Amino acid sequence: MWQDVKNVHHFFSSVLANVWYGFPSKKLTVIGVTGTDGKTTTVNLIYHILKNVGYEVSMISSVGAVINGKKYDIGFHVTTPSAWQIQKFLTKAKGCLILEVTSHALDQYRVWGIDFAVGVLTNITNEHLDYHKSYDNYVRTKVRLLKKAKIAVVNRDDDSYGVISNKFITYGIKNKADVTPKVFPFKTKLIGDFNKYNILAAVTACRQLGVSDDKIRYAIETFTLPVGRAEVMHEDNFTVMIDFAHTPNALEQILRSLRPEIKGRIIHVFGSAGERDRQKRPKMGEVSAKYADVIVLTAEDPRSESMEKIMEDIELGIQNKTVIKITDRQEAITAAIKMAKKGDFVLLTGKSHEQSMNYGKGEEPWNEFDAVKQALKEL
């Protein structure tokens, strides 16, 4: 019952925001991107392509907002801001705006009233079930964006494809789709099939806006990933990479892509958020154990939950692998880097670009990049 009341409050707040700012999306071409993984990269790809073509373009994503070339912070642990923030950004934007849209934002009406020219779905895997209660509810919430949009773009290879009933344009690699690497060959510096899917999603969206294939291809070749996405921080005798992967699927994608390229050990440092979906924790452990040689479990916004309990939940999925538990994330990163030998690969996942850590007493400053620099200094 309280959830319904909460959502009614969000609905009226969004209506007021739209009225206050005069429904600014009607003057823009808005592209919305939703999905479990790959949203931020896809938003940045679309932004990069359109900017290279000469469009006036802005974007709002989990790494911040860029409105008419000016950067704005959107707050801690925020992907889709409040309706009031979004509408204010929309009034400042010109031409096109690409918006990263979470399931929470859709469920809480934060994007109500926005005219979406294109809605893009990257993929849907089990995530946020603490909030949505079931996978079916989660899918239905994500699909709301596609129903809002004039043109829907979906992943033909994703499991969610079979339950999406509205009209759409498809992209994919394995199954017959409207846009595939065969239909649209391209060159990229990005690793992994998961990034090929992100590229194909961006290609399909930009094609709907009338951008030529040649211009899209050129932009893809010059694209670099946003901060904290497969970002190499150190490359000498061993490598250190930071990535935002924090779901079983995202871990599977990054680890599977890296494993064939690494001669030494993969040392994987990660945790799982407290007071959030507990069901995914053993699955994250299982995926890490499939590819990593040494697993270092540590803090990742435990909030009021016991870090020991979180790490125990993850460990349920780990078999026959060395597991080290260090609750302090700085200490965990330092330990992982100190144990790295020639040819080893240290992968830090979960925090990436985020600027704070929550130990149950509010947000405290945290910087993953500074933590790596500190650990390297101590070598």
- 355 band by pLDDT with thresholds 50, 70 and 90: very high
Q: Is residue 226 part of a domain?
A: no
Q: At residue 64, does pLDDT exceed 50?
A: yes
- Quote the pLDDT of residue 76: 77
Domain range spanning residue 170?
A: 2-221
* E strand map for the chain: 29-34, 57-61, 64-67, 70-72, 96-100, 116-121, 151-155, 169-171, 231-235, 239-243, 266-270, 294-297, 322-325, 345-349, 356-358, 363-365
Same domain, 95 and 30: yes
Q: Which residues pair with 64 in a beta bridge?
A: 61
CATH number at residue 96: 3.40.1190.10
The single-letter code of the amino acid at 216 is: I
* 164: confidence class by pLDDT, cuts 50, 70, 90: confident
CA 237/CA 125 separation, integer angstroms:
36
If you write DSSP's letter for every residue of 55-108 in order, what string do you get? Answer: --EEEEETTEEEETTEEE---TT-SS--HHHHHHHHHH--SEEEEE--HHHHHT
- What does the alpha-carbon distance between residue 280 and residue 277 come to, in Å, rounded to a whole number? 6
Do the Cβ atoms of 89 and 313 come closer than 8 Å?
no
Instruction: State pLDDT tens for residues 199-225.
Output: 999 999 999 999 999 999 999 999 999
CB distance 39 to 128 below 8 Å: no
Pick from 193, 221, 249: which residue ends a domain? 221
Q: Are 214 and 297 members of one domain?
A: no
* pTM exceeding the 0.75 threshold for the entire prediction: yes
- Which of 202, 221, 240 is at the close of a domain? 221
Residue 126: per-residue pLDDT: 63
Averaged over 69-90, what is the pLDDT? 92
Question: Is residue 68 domain-resident?
Answer: yes
User: pLDDT band for position 227 (50/70/90)?
Assistant: very high
Q: What is the pLDDT of residues 263-299, one digit of tens each?
A: 999 999 999 999 988 999 999 999 999 999 999 999 9
E strand or H helix at 251: helix 248-258
Among 120, 151, 144, 131, smallest CA distance to 47 is for 120
Residue 8 has what pLDDT? 86
Domain count, the chain: 2
Average pLDDT value over all residues in the chain: 94
Please say if the pLDDT value at position 6 is more than 70.
Answer: no
- Cα 253 to Cα 243: distance, rounded to the nearest angstrom: 11
Do 177 and 262 fall into the same domain? Answer: no
Tokens encoding 94: 């010109």
How would residue 160 be classed by pLDDT, with cut points 50, 70 and 90? confident
Q: Classify burial at 162, counting beta carbons within 10 Å of its beta carbon; exposed 0-12, middle 13-18, buried 19 or more.
A: exposed
